[in-house]
Amino acid sequence: MSKNINVALIGNPNTGKTSVFNQLTGLKQKVGNYPGITVEKKEGICKLPRGVKAHILDLPGTYSLNTTSLDESLVVELLLNKNDKDYPDVAVVISDVENLKRNLLLFTQIKDLKIPTILVINMADRMSRKGISLDVEAMEKKLDTKIALVSTRKRTGIERVKELIADYKSISSKPVLDPTRISPEYFDRLKKTFPQEDLYKLWLVITQDVNFMPIEKKRIQDATDFSTKSKDELKKLQHKETVLRYQLINNILKETYKVDFMAAKGLRASMDKILTHKVFGYLIFFVILLTIFQAIFDWSGYPMDFIDEQFAMASEWVKNTLPAGLFTDLLAEGIIAGIGGIVIFIPQIAFLFLFISLLEESGYMSRVVFLMDRLMRPFGLSGKSVVPLISGNACAIPAIMATRTIENWKERLITILVTPFTTCSARLPVYLILIALVIPEGSFLGLSYQALTLMLLYMIGFGMALLSAMALNKILKIKSRSVFMIEMPTYRLPLLKNVVYTVIEKTKSFVLGAGKIILAISIVLWFLGSNGYSDDFENAESIVTERIEKQGLSIYSKNYIQNNVASYRESVEAEDLEPSILKDSVQVLTEQLSERAVAQEIASYKLEHSYIGQAGKAFEPIVKPLGYDWKIGIAVLTSFAAREVFVGTLATIYSVGSDEEETIKNRMAAELDESGKPLFNLASGISLMLFYAFAMQCMSTLAIVKRETNSWKWPMIQLGFMSVFAYIIALIAYQILI
Long-range contact set of residues 310-319: C-beta below 8 Å, sequence gap at least 24: 311/336, 311/337, 311/339, 311/340, 311/343, 311/344, 311/663, 312/340, 312/661, 312/662, 312/663, 312/664, 313/661, 314/340, 315/340, 315/655, 315/661, 316/660, 316/661, 319/659
- Which residues partner with 648 through β-bridges? none
Measured distance CA(460)–CA(407) in Å, rounded: 28
**Is position 59 annotated in a ligand binding site?**
yes
What single letter denotes the amino acid at residue 714?
W
Contact in structure between 75 and 62 (CB atoms under 8 Å): yes
Strand 90-96 vs strand 117-122: parallel, antiparallel, or unpaired? Answer: parallel
What single letter denotes the amino acid at residue 200?
Y
**Is position 36 annotated in a ligand binding site?**
yes
Q: 649 CB contacts (<8 Å, ≥6 apart)?
A: 338, 341, 521, 522, 525, 634, 635, 638, 639
Measured distance CA(120)–CA(159) in Å, rounded: 12
**Is position 117 annotated in a ligand binding site?**
no
**Is position 16 annotated in a ligand binding site?**
yes
- Which residues partner with 8 through β-bridges? 57, 91
**In the 8-state DSSP scheme, what is residue 738?**
-
**Is position 192 annotated in a ligand binding site?**
no
- Which residues partner with 133 through β-bridges? 258
Cα–Cα–Cα angle for 645, 647, 651, nearest 5°?
Answer: 110
**Is position 420 annotated in a ligand binding site?**
no
**Is position 123 annotated in a ligand binding site?**
yes
Of 666, 652, 543, whose CA–CA distance to 602 is shortest? 543
Contact in structure between 157 and 131 (CB atoms under 8 Å): no
**Is position 532 annotated in a ligand binding site?**
no
Tell me how long the chain is.
Answer: 738
**Is position 39 annotated in a ligand binding site?**
yes
Measured distance CA(32)–CA(139) in Å, rounded: 37
**Is position 58 annotated in a ligand binding site?**
yes
**Is position 564 annotated in a ligand binding site?**
no
Measured distance CA(476)–CA(410) in Å, rounded: 8
**Is position 576 annotated in a ligand binding site?**
no
**Is position 490 annotated in a ligand binding site?**
no
> CA separation (Å) from 245 to 42, 183, 269, 370, 629?
30, 14, 30, 29, 68
**Is position 24 annotated in a ligand binding site?**
no
Helices (H), 268-345: 268-275, 280-321, 326-329, 337-343
**Is position 17 annotated in a ligand binding site?**
yes
Name the 3-class secondary structure at 40: strand
**Is position 473 annotated in a ligand binding site?**
no
**Is position 60 annotated in a ligand binding site?**
yes
Of 442, 438, 434, 384, whose CA–CA distance to 408 is shortest? 384
Q: Which residues are annotated as a binding site for GTP?
A: 11-18, 36-40, 58-61, 122-125
Q: Which residues are annotated as a binding site?
A: 11-18, 22, 25-26, 36-40, 58-61, 122-125
Q: Which residues are annotated as a binding site for Mg(2+)?
A: 22, 25-26
